[in-house]
With several copies, the nearest count.
Chain A
Amino acid sequence: MDKTLPSLTEAVSGIPDGASVMIGGFGGSGSPIELIHALIDRFHATGHPTGLTVINNNAGNGHVGLAALIEAGMVAKLICSFPRSADPVVFTELYLAGKIELELVPQGTLAERIRAGGAGIPAFYTPTSYGTDLAQGKPVEVFEGRPYVQERWLKADFALIKAQVGDRFGNLTYRAAARNFSPLMATAAKVTIAQVSVIGEIDPEAVITPGIFVQAVVQVENPKQEETLNRQKAAYPC
């Protein structure tokens, strides 16, 4: 078994128009810049993929990574908890012009919906959002005297995530708080593609994402960090 792939180009080659794509990271921490840029490269070369539904906590920052993907016009819909950003204004402009769809989800509900998607749980109840606009249209049930909102699982065709060490079985570790949504997304996507700094052996006790959840591993030895790029005012391509 060898899930490693030789290139980013090959790693993202199978993502079609209209696909749903979970992208790891919280702000810049854990954002798989190289995978996203490879996807934008492919769009510039072939015109595809477009019309993507992207699941991420945010709407990107600056002009790299997810923000660049949105700027390129490849994203039809965003599912996230916090799309507000001072820079870029591209999401804001597209959103206010009605050119990009937004599904706003509380952060913990977003995490739990993704976990549920990966764990075969089609629906669950949470106190979160009860009595708010974000609960509108959702079933409410009372358990032990307290009202809860029914939320549904969230799955995707692909997940693009950034990890620290990966092995040929697809096992992964992460670095510090760059872990965030990535282990969940790996479970909830049909095809999970991980960029890793290091390909090497992992102690079975140290594995965070077991390989069963990962279909492809591609090495990016010194990955770019979104926050650092933005402080350098970098823009795609970079």
Chain B
Amino acid sequence: MLKLSNAQIAWRAAQDIADGAYVNLGIGFPEMVAKFQPPGREAIFHTENGILNFGESPEPGEEDWDLINAGKKAVTLKPGASFFHHADSFAMVRGGHLDVAILGAYQVSESGDLANWSTGPKGVPAVGGAMDLVHGAKRVAVITEHVTKDGKPKLLDRCTLPLTGVACVTRVYTSHAVIDIAGRFILREKLAGVSLEELQNMTGAKLHLDGPVLDLNVPEV
């Protein structure tokens, strides 16, 4: 079935980041959003381990392993960069100074709850900075496949996995749609080739309409 690639989901999320915004991108998939800043816009990226305004990875062999992001990948500095310790870094997060955080998700509920840190009691639990980010940034968005690998909904009336945060996510960019959350799922954009009924069948809670539903148009990237 027709769906967006991860790069395309990241591209779509990037279009909503304003020029000059302070942004934290979660480890892994969300890091991809940085690649797709629209021309003429420049966001400032924050990483939990103490850098503002870092840039892309250096050439292989050029890495400085004291200059890494939260995903432990080597990065570079852009003009206007700064270093700071972890308490100052999370003062930026918790204090509401970030404009947007974009995170991955196992599950998102229609009340905005997020589950993205634990798949249950098995294995070693690890949370990192996710629980801080969801209650700090002015806007918390999620990028995700619309359903799990075995086809189960990730957008639910209630999360069944351990929560990362309560009532924190306000927009979800999926492989099939863009959905706002305001106590309920409000469909804003969907792939033109997917019917509302098909999308509803892939979704674990009611999709509400509030104004027009736009076509989710994303270029090949």
Contact = CB atoms under 8 A, between A and B. Distances in A.
Interface residues of A, number: 71
Interface string A91-124: 1100110000010111111111011011111000
A181 B85 contact: yes
Interface in B105-134: 113, 118, 123-132
Nearest to B132: A108
Interface stretch (B94-102, B149-157, B189-197): B94-102
B72 A28 contact: yes
Interface residues of B, number: 60
A32 to B, nearest CB: 13
A200 B188 CA distance: 44
B124 A210 contact: no
Contact of A187 (B19, B51, B91): B91
Contacts of A211: 44, 52-53, 80, 82
Interface stretch (A8-16, A42-50, A64-72, A78-86): A78-86
A3 to B, nearest CB: 9
A154 B170 CA distance: 27
Nearest to B134: A128
Nearest to A183: B85
Nearest to B46: A212
Interface of B is mostly: loop
A119 B130 CA distance: 16
Given A29-B68, A212-B52, A82 B94 contact: no
Contacts of B183: none
Interface in A168-187: 168-169, 171, 174-184, 187
10 contacts: A108-B89, A108-B132, A119-B94, A130-B135, A130-B166, A169-B44, A187-B91, A187-B97, A204-B83, A212-B92
Interface of A: 1, 26-30, 59, 81-84, 91-92, 95-96, 102, 104-112, 114-115, 117-121, 126-134, 167-169, 171, 174-184, 187, 201-202, 204-205, 207-208, 210-213, 225-228
Given A108-B131, A132-B163, A202-B82, 5 more contacts: A29-B66, A102-B124, A130-B165, A176-B66, A180-B49
Interface of B: 19-20, 22, 42, 44, 46-53, 64-68, 70, 72, 77, 79-98, 113, 118, 123-132, 135-136, 162-166
